[in-house]
Structures are given as C-alpha cells and as structure tokens.
C-alpha cells in the first residue's frame, strides 16, 4: 500500500513574492505528515500534523494567518474526519485557538459530540491543554496582503485508512458568526475507506450547497482515479457558481487536484520526493 498525502494552501491568489515561501511551507507540511506515515502512524496523525504547519504560518488563511471578519477579528473553523468509522470532529467560530485542527481532533476523540462552536469549543480545548491566546494576538500583520482560502490535507496510511483535515479563517470580512463549508462533513471534507478522501477550498456557501467533497468521494472507484474525479467534479461545482478547488486521494493511493481559481498551491508525496506547485 503506497503512503499518500497531499496538502493545499487554499484556492485563490497569492502575491508573486510569496510563491516560493508558499510552496516551501506546503512541502514542509507534507514532510511533517509523511514522517508520521513512515513510522506507521495513521492517516489522521498525518493530516493533522500537515495542517498544523499551515495553521502556524502567516501565509495561509487558517490559524495564525486567518483573515478578519467584519468586526476585525479572526473567527476560525476546522474539521477532521477518518474513513474507517466515519468519525468526525469539528470546531466553528473559534477566536482564541492557535491550532483549531487539533481542537477538532480532540472533539472527535474525547467528547460524545462531533461539532463544538465558539466559547464552548475554546473552553473544551483549554481544558484539554491546548494553547489558548487572546483574539487580538491571532491577527497576523501580513493579513492585509493576498492569501488563498483555507488549508487542508488528505492521506492514505499503511493500514489502508484515509483521513481529511481542513482549517480556515473563512471569508474576508464575513459576518460575525458566519460558518463556512470547512467544518461541515461532505462539504469541506469527506473520507470513506472504501472510496477515498477529499478536501475542498473556496466559497463556503457554494461548497455547502454542492456537497462537493461527498459528491467527489462517491464518484471514486478502482477504475476512476482521484485525478479523473477531481477533473470531473469541477464542472459540476461550476453549476453552483462558486470559485474553489479540491484535493483528493483514492483507495489506491493516487492523488488528484483541480481548481477554477488562478492559483491553488499544493504539495504531495511522489515516490521518495515531495512535489509542490502553485496551480495545476
Ligand atoms: N472555504 C472556507 C469558507 O468559505 O469558509
């Protein structure tokens, strides 16, 4: 079984001056996740580790790089899902968590629930020992420059399990309280061991309406590769008039990605190498 991992740094645009750093950070994210896979770790470990690297960078719209809402604050959403049992953990509208993806994983593993929001999610994360910061300290100085939308990762591990992780600051100047697609299973991400996993980026309202990642995962089969599905699902998504893209991994470990925005930085394991590109 090949070990597979692909990450994206958000569909949209990035300043040309940032392109090299963006690709390098996406490579770092894959390297962090690959280290888990190579040591026999799970796809869940790999996608969480990869997304944490992207959340910690001010270059991406997630975690420390999150855009601001209409009140001038960062309000973040994240979700993680594993394909064996279809377990999910998600947080929404959090303002004080440096790594929302880890809070999402803790929701999955240490609560009877799947989705916690706002102060309740933050209080839970603090009790679990996560770093909780002031909302103001989440506003990275770079924020006024261009960055893509959302970060994410999908992986297949040596035991044949798939997983997806997605994290976002959402839409720039969104209404306070607005939740996008990212923490919604089947919209921002979806994973099913018999088929594969997918992670979306783009305008959350259209991704939710199209159930983009559920749709994409259901289109996968042994005969149809992740790349073929990624290509086939984008014209369907276009009918919902949204900008965005997705990354995918299929049960055979083949990765795929597609987008209709100018850029969508990606990096993935390719044999012994890690490849990175700013767009397809
Ligand atoms: N795709 C992220 C969002 O719309 O919130």
Tens-digit pLDDT profile for residues 7-28 = 999 999 888 999 999 999 999 9
pLDDT at res. 222: 78
Domain boundaries along the sequence of the chain:
4-86+142-277
pLDDT at res. 141: 73
What is the Å distance from ligand 1's center to 68 Cα? 13
Pocket lining: 225 vs ligand 1, CB cutoff 6 Å: no
pLDDT at res. 44: 98
pLDDT at res. 2: 86
Cβ contact 196:248 at 8 Å: yes
Q: Residue 155 and residue 2: Cα distance in Å, rounded?
A: 10
**Rounded-to-10 torsion of CA 213, 219, 223, 227:** -40
Question: Among the atoms of ligand 1, which is closest to the Cα of residue 202?
Answer: 1
pLDDT at res. 143: 56
Question: Does the structural domain 4-86+142-277 have CATH classification 3.60.20.30?
Answer: yes
Name the residue with tokens 């995918």. 248
Q: Are strands 115-117 and 88-94 parallel, antiparallel or unpaired?
A: parallel
Best residue for ligand 1 mutational test, from 62, 207, 244 (most atoms within 8 Å of Cβ): 207
Q: Which residues of the chain have pLDDT under 70?
A: 142-146
Pocket lining: 99 vs ligand 1, CB cutoff 6 Å: no
pTM: 0.97
Q: In what order do the strands lie in the sheet with 273-277?
A: 115-117, 88-94, 76-82, 162-168, 151-156, 4-8, 266-270, 273-277
Pocket lining: 183 vs ligand 1, CB cutoff 6 Å: no
pLDDT at res. 142: 60
Pocket lining: 204 vs ligand 1, CB cutoff 6 Å: yes
Question: pLDDT tens digits for 94-149?
Answer: 999 999 999 999 999 999 999 999 999 999 999 999 999 999 989 887 654 567 78
What is the Å distance from ligand 1's center to 208 Cα? 9
CA neighbor of 254 nearest in space, from 231, 228, 233? 228
Cβ contact 91:107 at 8 Å: yes
- The overall average pLDDT reported for the chain is 95
Question: Collapsing DSSP states into helix, strand and coil, what is residue 259?
Answer: strand
pLDDT at res. 170: 96
Best residue for ligand 1 mutational test, from 76, 78, 203, 242 (most atoms within 8 Å of Cβ): 203
């Amino acid at each position: 079984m090949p070990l597979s991992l692909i990450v994206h740094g958000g569909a949209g645009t990035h300043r040309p001056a940032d392109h090299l750093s963006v690709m390098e950070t996406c490579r770092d994210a894959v390297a962090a996740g690959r280290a888990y896979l190579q040591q026999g770790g799970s796809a869940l470990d790999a996608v969480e580790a990869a997304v944490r690297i992207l959340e910690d960078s001010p270059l991406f719209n997630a975690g420390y790089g999150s855009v601001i809402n209409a009140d001038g604050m960062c309000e973040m959403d994240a979700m993680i899902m594993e394909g064996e049992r279809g377990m999910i953990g998600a947080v929404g509208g959090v303002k004080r968590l440096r790594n929302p993806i880890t809070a999402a994983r803790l929701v999955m593993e240490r609560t009877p629930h799947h989705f916690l929001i706002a102060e309740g999610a933050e209080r839970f994360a603090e009790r679990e020992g996560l770093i909780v910061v002031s909302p103001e300290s989440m506003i990275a100085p770079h924020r006024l420059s261009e960055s893509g939308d959302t970060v994410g990762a999908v992986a297949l591990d040596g035991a044949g399990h798939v997983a997806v992780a997605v994290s976002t600051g959402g839409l720039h100047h969104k209404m306070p309280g607005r939740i996008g697609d990212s923490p919604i299973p089947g919209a921002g991400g979806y994973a099913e061991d018999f088929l594969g996993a997918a992670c979306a980026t783009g305008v959350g309202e259209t991704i939710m309406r199209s159930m983009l990642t559920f749709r994409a995962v259901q289109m996968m089969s042994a005969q149809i590769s992740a790349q073929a599905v990624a290509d086939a699902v984008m014209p369907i998504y276009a009918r919902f008039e949204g900008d965005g893209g997705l990354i995918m991994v299929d049960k055979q470990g083949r990765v795929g990605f597609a987008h209709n925005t100018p850029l969508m930085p990606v990096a993935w394991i390719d044999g012994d190498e890690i490849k990175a590109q700013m767009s397809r």
